[in-house]
């Protein structure tokens, strides 16, 4: 797998090989874009946010044998937390995203996943199935907040699917995926794992098929911060997504049809 190194001396965040991989495969990784101290502060911020209890419209922990009920993903944390907002609008991400999209970018969404030991993953899917960006697509910036590998439910991507249309998904296996949608790899293509270290960022096209398996580790979280972005030329997006300039100013786009939160969750089970 080709990756792109971040040059602290001020060189472009994405090298020609990184841009080429994004165009050819639909994704690329920038290693160490965020420092370990930054990631440590981000993890601490979300630990405190979780401990403080539910925030309506963003996350609601509940008692259950399901680890994801105790540690649900946090939706739009940038709207309730300054550090999350700072990461979503970070200048380094902006630089990389403008190179990938070839234009000014708008931030559309943030999420934080705790993914504790024993948690289900999210079946293979495409992000633009949910955002419904028109014209064009979205780009994700997936920031690793732990050592991430196959054991603790790291991401897998299907290279080349970014050139394809948005698929009509099948129903996922509820035993291993918290989300309903599942897109099987097209014939001749296969999912490949993307191992990451804290501070690495995976950038990928909104049509790229990707997902993750369960966290099968005994004691390792797989925390990650995700931002979704669109080009300034986008005209429509799902009403759930509230676009901002990278300076933080609200930009209202027209509503596209068929959109929803990124990952339609199976109905929750009661305490057991």
Note whether residue 225 is domain-resident: yes
Residue 2 has pLDDT above 80, yes or no: no
The predicted structure's pLDDT at residue 4? 46
Note whether residue 43 is domain-resident: yes
101-105, 120-124, 261-265 — which is least confidently predicted?
A: 261-265
pLDDT, tens only, 55-94 = 999 999 998 999 999 999 999 999 999 999 999 999 999 9
Residue 11 has pLDDT above 80, yes or no: no
Number of domains in the chain: 1
CA distance 79 to 75: 9
The answer to whether 229 touches 106, Cβ cutoff 8 Å, is yes
> How many residues would you count in the chain?
272
Which CATH number fits the domain that encloses residue 243?
Answer: 2.60.120.620
Q: Which domain holds residue 79?
A: 4-55+67-255
Closest CA to 139 of 168, 178, 107: 107
Note whether residue 79 is domain-resident: yes
pLDDT tier for residue 267 given thresholds of 50, 70 and 90: confident
pLDDT tier for residue 234 given thresholds of 50, 70 and 90: very high
Sequential DSSP letters for 183-250: -PPPTT---EE--B-TT-EEEEETTSEEEE-----SS----EEEEEEEETT--EE-TT---EETTS-B
Q: The whole model's pTM is what?
A: 0.93
Between 1 and 70, residue with greater pLDDT: 70
Residue 237 has pLDDT above 90, yes or no: yes
Q: What is the mean pLDDT of residues 246-257?
A: 96
Note whether residue 263 is domain-resident: no
Q: What is the mean pLDDT of residues 28-38?
A: 98
pLDDT, tens only, 109-154 = 999 999 999 999 999 999 999 999 999 999 999 999 999 999 999 9
Note whether residue 129 is domain-resident: yes
Residue 5 has pLDDT above 50, yes or no: no
Note whether residue 76 is domain-resident: yes
Q: What is the mean pLDDT of residues 36-63?
A: 96
pLDDT > 70 fraction of the chain, expressed in percent and rounded: 93
Note whether residue 60 is domain-resident: no
Note whether residue 264 is domain-resident: no
């Amino acid at each position: 797998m080709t990756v792109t190194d971040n040059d602290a001396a001020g060189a472009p965040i994405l090298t020609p090989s990184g841009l080429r991989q994004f165009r050819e495969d639909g994704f690329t990784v920038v290693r160490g874009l965020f420092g370990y101290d930054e990631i440590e502060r981000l993890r601490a911020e979300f630990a405190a946010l979780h401990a403080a209890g539910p925030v309506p419209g963003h996350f609601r922990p509940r008692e259950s044998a399901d680890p994801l009920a105790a540690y649900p993903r946090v939706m739009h944390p940038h709207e309730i937390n300054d550090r999350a907002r700072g990461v979503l609008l970070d200048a380094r991400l902006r630089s990389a995203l403008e190179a990938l999209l070839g234009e000014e970018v708008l931030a559309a969404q943030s999420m934080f996943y705790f993914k504790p030991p024993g948690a289900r993953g999210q079946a293979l899917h495409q992000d633009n199935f949910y955002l419904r960006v028109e014209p064009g697509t979205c780009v994700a910036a997936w920031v690793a907040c732990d050592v991430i590998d196959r054991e603790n439910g790291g991401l897998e991507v299907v290279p080349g699917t970014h050139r394809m249309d948005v698929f009509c998904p099948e129903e996922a296996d509820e035993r291993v995926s918290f989300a309903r949608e599942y897109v099987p790899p097209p014939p001749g293509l296969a999912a490949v794992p993307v191992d990451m270290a804290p501070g690495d960022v995976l950038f990928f096209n909104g049509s790229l098929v990707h997902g993750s398996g369960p966290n099968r580790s005994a004691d390792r979280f797989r925390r990650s911060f995700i931002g979704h972005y669109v080009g300034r030329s986008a005209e429509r997006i799902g009403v759930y997504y509230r676009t901002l300039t990278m300076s933080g100013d609200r930009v209202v786009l027209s509503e596209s049809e068929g959109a929803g939160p990124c990952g339609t969750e199976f109905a929750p089970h009661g305490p057991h």
